[in-house]
């Protein structure tokens, strides 16, 4: 899987795709949601983040895709301390990260095809340069026959697969997914897991926040477990 460019002059100096060094996070004056987290995700790895509701799974993902800042500690992405990355250069980092949000965040006035193509349009690419790629990606997630459908007409599992397609259309180095099977049945959850496994085999680093213990057990992948704002690594690295 190809890599998007770094900001001009920047280099990957750390083999870890993601590294947290003694990271804590709080919202306002509330107690810390995350406390003293230190871990790393190697390129091409696959991990789950588990924990009870409110344990901080979504907050952990937000720190990685630069939607939040730590109250303490350092977050490194692709060898760079993100606190030292100028605001103007942060979009270069974000383009290397795909996110599947729990609530999908599809644009209701756009077709399935246009939802997936939107990141490419924002980059300034012409429709002729990506039309076939988007169609093939929709076929890959089983939605080629629904490419002209509007989000309101899609079932929950279809919306989830559409959100996955949009998240990977830019070929990100990291894919983050927040409770991606929370709104689908067991059979669809397994189908979505197979999509993530295939992406990982293509080289994408995968991090999935979930409460679905059956999904975690079936995958056999290592787990980062959050409890009381602190993290325990469970399972061996593949």
- For residue 52, give the CATH number of its domain: 3.40.50.300
Is 122 among the domain residues?
A: yes
- Assess contact for 57 and 10: CB atoms under 8 A: no
In a domain, 220, yes or no: yes
Let me know if residue 111 belongs to a domain.
Answer: yes
For residue 113, what are the domain limits? 18-81+91-234
In a domain, 5, yes or no: no
Over 90: is that where the pLDDT of 1 sits? Answer: no
Residues β-bridged to residue 34: 25
Q: How many domains does the chain have?
A: 1
pLDDT in tens, 45-54: 999 999 998 8
What does the pLDDT read at residue 200?
93
Domain presence at residue 140: yes
Evaluate whether residue 164 is within a structural domain.
Answer: yes
Give the global pTM. 0.87
pLDDT one-digit tens code per residue, 76-124: 999 999 999 998 998 888 889 999 998 899 999 999 999 999 999 988 8
184-229: per-residue pLDDT in tens?
Answer: 888 888 888 988 998 999 999 999 999 888 889 989 999 999 998 8
Classify residue 151: in a domain, yes or no: yes
- Tell me the pLDDT of the chain averaged across its residues: 88
Tell me whether residue 86 is in a domain: no
Check residue 8 and give its pLDDT.
46
**pLDDT band, residue 64 (cuts 50/70/90):** very high
């Amino acid at each position: 899987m190809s890599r998007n460019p770094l900001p001009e002059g920047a280099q990957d100096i750390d083999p870890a795709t993601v590294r947290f060094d003694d990271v804590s996070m709080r919202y306002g004056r509330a107690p810390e949601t995350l406390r003293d987290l230190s871990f790393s995700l190697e390129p091409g790895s696959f991990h789950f983040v588990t924990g009870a509701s409110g344990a901080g799974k979504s907050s952990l993902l937000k720190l990685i895709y630069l939607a939040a800042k730590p109250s303490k500690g350092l977050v490194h992405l692709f060898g760079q301390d993100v606190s030292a990355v100028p605001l103007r250069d942060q979009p270069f980092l974000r383009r290397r990260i795909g996110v599947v949000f729990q609530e999908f965040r599809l644009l209701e006035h756009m077709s399935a095809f246009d939802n997936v193509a939107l990141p490419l349009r924002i980059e300034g690419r012409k429709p002729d340069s990506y039309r076939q790629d988007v169609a093939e990606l929709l076929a890959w997630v089983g939605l080629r026959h629904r490419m002209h459908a509007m989000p309101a007409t899609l079932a929950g599992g279809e919306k989830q697969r559409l959100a996955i397609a949009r998240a990977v259309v830019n070929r990100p180095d990291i894919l983050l997914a927040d409770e991606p099977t929370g709104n689908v049945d067991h059979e669809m959850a397994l189908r979505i897991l197979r999509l993530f496994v295939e992406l990982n085999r293509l080289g994408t680093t995968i991090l999935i926040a979930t409460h679905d213990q059956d999904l975690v057990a079936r995958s056999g992948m290592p787990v980062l477990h959050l409890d009381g704002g602190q993290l325990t690594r469970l399972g061996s690295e593949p």
